[in-house]
A and B are shown apart, each in its own frame.
Chain A
């Protein structure tokens, strides 16, 4: 079976600080793959390498079996960064229209997709409002909408639900499940345990190393723990 994302022997340093150490990951088509770890464990670095905006010091990243960075593969994923990468002066519609154009969507297609993604994140009422008037949670949702605008087959989300209330978080996860049912691969970083439970498979990170990869249930069974939190503490403790 071919994997959608393949990371081989990745190591990376910023200056003299080692950020990642010998990471090997293989993400399958159509799964929700979670990267779980405390802040500073290297989640964002891994995600950036998948998108091709950061080249690993050592090792290789493949998307759909093509070595990154590749402009062709960049069309196939949608990326939601940790910071809300939005143009504050522009309205939501203008932001989405801009990002849609980058993927060469036709004008009518863009119009159609803007409606769809704005409905999805429940911001339709605020479509023509400048982003600077948005609240933090609204910006987060608009970022998600921008990542989905071109109907990507892979979605890479870096801490997507930070600053979003439980009701909306629930609806975002429902949306992610719906996308997964359509065959979309979803890669999501989080440090929230209950979100980690929702993933099909989890990679647990600590200090730039992958300490375990498996489904949440298997991880728990393996060490006889009842929550992911216990698993995390178990592996984290063992690594020290």
Chain B
């Protein structure tokens, strides 16, 4: 009951505080767009050689943005070596085989996206993809999109949630709240609920924008993406409000960014960490973003269902529960009951 009262109040405050609202929705979208402009580099024309491609499929491909040239296999192999073309497509045993130049992960990713878009669901056109130069680099680009969505949601919810709970402390309203018959748990749940409702909206906007406007590589279910993004937001919210107990003012709250947020960027899979020492990898295992990013990557890149990403999901839920309980406990400092 009091939880609901508090939720309503938070939503009202949001309606008044347009700037914080904008920070939580527009800022992630803005930064994601900027990163995509930098990483995507789509002004470049992509040259693709076609080797013995059947006419109907060639027609489909002509609708794409790709610059197509028909050529022999030898010529294609020579041109891809010289960097004249970025990829070539050939037909073997009724199946398309795509060979990507592969040294520039951005180009390789873009070509693959174009082909997927041209022939999305037809199983006979299940494409075999190989790389002329290496293959591992290719992954980096695709890896980054889902992680970035998770990261920006996490970052901005952490800041706004943490600071607004901190303000409740510094402006004396927390004390005023606790001098009323509200339970400590109702305060914490009220915050989770009020911000939670708002982060649902935020998660939807950011995910939809990334997938449909920025065209981040995505094969899985949007609903799953939203579930994970929302859970990540709740984790950030509960962690932010918990840590605000250890900050005296907004400035000290901002000091948590290099301590709590930045390390998560390094360990959450934005950069490959497979080669690192075991104890270093273990650091990543205690970070919420690692699990969020892992689940998002699974859903968006590999079309994983609940069965496959459920462990990450449960761990995220576990983080939310843990931080929430700690937060209720931390409020004991203000009122024993």
Chain A residues near B176 (CB, 8 Å)? 79, 81, 85, 99, 146
Partner of B337, one of A71, A83, A85, A94: A71
Q: Is A3 an interface residue (CB 8 A)?
A: no
Q: How far apart sit A178 and B337, CA to CA, in the bound complex (Å)?
A: 33
Q: Which 4 A-B pairs give the minimum distances between C-beta atoms?
A: A85-B176, A83-B172, A89-B16, A85-B172
Contact A90 B9 (CB under 8 A): yes
The size bracket of the interface on B is 20 to 34
Shortest distance between the CB of B11 and any CB in chain A (Å):
11
Shortest CB-to-CB span from B332 to chain A, Å, is 10
B171-211 to A contact mask, C-beta < 8 Å, 1/0: 11101111111110000000000000000000000000000
List, in ascending order, chain A residues with CB within 8 A of B5's CB.
98, 101-102
Since A53-B335, A88-B171, A98-B8 are in contact, a sample of 15 more A-B pairs with Cβ atoms closer than 8 Å, ordered by chain A residue number, is: A48-B175, A52-B335, A52-B336, A53-B175, A69-B335, A75-B180, A77-B179, A79-B176, A81-B175, A82-B172, A85-B172, A89-B12, A101-B2, A102-B5, A102-B180
Chain A neighbourhood of B74, CB < 8 A: none
Chain A, 44-87, CB within 8 A of any chain B CB: 48, 51-53, 55, 69-72, 74-75, 77, 79, 81-87
| Cβ-based interface call for A173 (8 A) | no
User: Per-position contact with A for B5-24: 1 when CB-CB < 8 Å, else 0?
Assistant: 10011001100110000000
**A contacts, CB < 8 Å to B:** 48, 51-53, 55, 69-72, 74-75, 77, 79, 81-90, 94, 98-99, 101-104, 130, 146
Q: Does B75 contact A (CB under 8 A)?
A: no
**Residues in A neighbouring B8, C-beta threshold 8 A:** 98
Q: How far is the CA of A87 from the CA of B16 in the complex (A)?
A: 11
- Chain B: minimal CB distance from A121 (Å): 17
Q: With contacts A81-B175, A102-B177, A103-B181 known, is A69 near B336, CB below 8 A?
A: yes
* Contact yes or no, B181 A72, CB < 8 A: yes
Assess whether A87 is in contact with B335, with CB atoms less than 8 Å apart. Answer: no
